[in-house]
Structure 1
Amino acid sequence: MSKNKTQKWWQKLIGQKMTASGWLSFFVFGLGQLKNKQKGKALFFFAFQFVYIAIEVLTSSVVTGSLPGQPEYWGYGFFRKSLYGFITLGETTGGRFRDNSPVMMIEGIIAIFLLLILFVIWIMNIRDANESYLSYKRTGEIQSSKEFYKEVFETGFAYVVSAPALILMLFVSILPIIFSFLTAFTNWDAYHNPPADLIDWV
């Protein structure tokens, strides 16, 4: 993809050219909003990045520690380990540290889904920082934290109420379908039967 096409794609994704506030939120969620003096909104977006980082750190060997003979990738955080497992489908069989290819595939699917959600929030965070700054330049007014949270509650209430049902549908219906579809691209057969054996992508 050429540089011009990349720039056009990015501009279409965020809605307009990048401002200083947009670039700040590009690197740290909510930092652009903080520059725009929207502390409540900054805290809202930063909370998402903080939770994801916390999950990664708290599930890694940095916090949980490691056992003697444990494979290095077993000490990765949830997202890194899940993506690594999704790509490799496991490396060790037998013994204390046995990989289970189907479980690693499922964990990888969940990690990819959660990272896609984070990507959407990241884009929303950048777009909001840009739009708030440009709106302030035009009108001289900035949305208060109270107004923002009221807007979030009014527009997002339906999503919050339906979220449990959507999550249940994801795990009960969608996840098994994706898993079954992906297994068609592996060598899972009578000679490669987890958990006794590992499977590979073909």
Structure 2
Amino acid sequence: MKCYSEKASILSILFMGLGQLYNRQFGKGILFAAVEILFIVYMLPFVSRGLWGLVTLGEIPQRMEAGKILPGDHSIFLMIYGIMSVLLLLVFAAIYVMNYFDARRVGEQRDKGKPVKNIINSIATLYEKGFPYLVLTPAGIFLLFLTVLPLIFGMLIAFTNYSGPHNVPPRALVDWVGFKIFMELFRLPLLRETFFGVAAWTITWA
């Protein structure tokens, strides 16, 4: 019994495009492999730095030495780069999963003795059956980075000690404080009254 699907699945997990090359879809395999190579060469350093910045929010603040201002880590920029890195990883993971299922699907076709489509036929099928997804993909990516990213940033900043005038980058670093700010919001009378007043006004006029 032939097991093209299993071998193609394993190869596609090891490296993007290997499963397609094994299935003799050379054009598609080269495209998938190029995506992973470009990610490793160009995006991986940015993603690694971004994840480090998202976790630490920086380690060296701006400082003055010998009358000169030396730049340090900017916590807000590091948080934004970190969120971008997570989103890029999600996009790359989605392509990786698509690569796996594509290799497995074509392998199953080979197991059944069906002919394998070349790159021209694959593009024609994609255009015919997946045209709506093809058109919406760029818009979805823009939506991810122009709408979702600011929303995530707005939520995450609430879990830091970002506040003026002391904890404002680049002069000072920002730290993660978890739910400490929310606890103080309900513990301190002045903050509690202000919060509920604004919340009531917002709900009333929403």
Q: TM-score range by the shorter chain?
A: 0.7 to 0.9
One of 33, 37, 42 as aligned partner of 1:50: 37
SS of corresponding position for 1:192: coil
Partner of 1:201: 176
Give distance in 1, aligned partners of 2:18 and 2:77. 37
TM-score (norm 2): 0.73
The residue number in structure 2 matching 1:88 is 56
Which residue does the alignment assign to 2:27?
A: 40
Structure 1 residue corresponding to 2:162, chosen from 165, 188, 202: 188
Give distance in 1, aligned partners of 2:146 and 2:13: 34
Greater Cα radius of gyration, structure 1 or 2: 2
Q: 5 Å matches for 1:128-143?
A: 128-143=102-117
What residue in structure 1 maps to residue 47 of structure 2? 79
- What does residue 144 of structure 1 align with? 118
Q: Percent of aligned pairs with the same residue?
A: 36
Number of aligned positions between the proteins: 166
Q: Does the CA contact (< 8 Å) of 2:74 and 2:173 recur in 1?
A: yes
AA matched with 2:6: T
TM value normalised by structure 1: 0.74
Q: CA deviation at 1:48?
A: 1.5
Aligned-residue CA RMSD in angstroms?
2.0
| Letter of the 1:132 counterpart | V
Gaps of 5+ in 1: 1-17, 58-76
Q: CA deviation at 1:164?
A: 4.7
Aligned to 1:21: 8
More divergent stretch after superposition (168-177 vs 136-145): 168-177
Q: Distance in 1 between matches of 2:161 and 2:57?
A: 11
Q: 1:51 to 1:156 in 2, by over 3 A?
A: farther
Are the aligned partners of 2:84 and 2:145 in contact in 1 as well (CA < 8 Å)?
Answer: no
Amino acid at match of 2:15: V
CA distance in 2, matches of 1:119, 1:102: 26
Seen in structure 2, the aligned counterparts of structure 1 residues 24 and 164 have a Cα distance that, compared at 3 Å, is closer
Instruction: Report the Cα offset of residue 181 of structure 1.
Output: 0.4
Mark the runs of 5 or more structure 2 residues left unpaired by the alignment: 64-69, 178-206
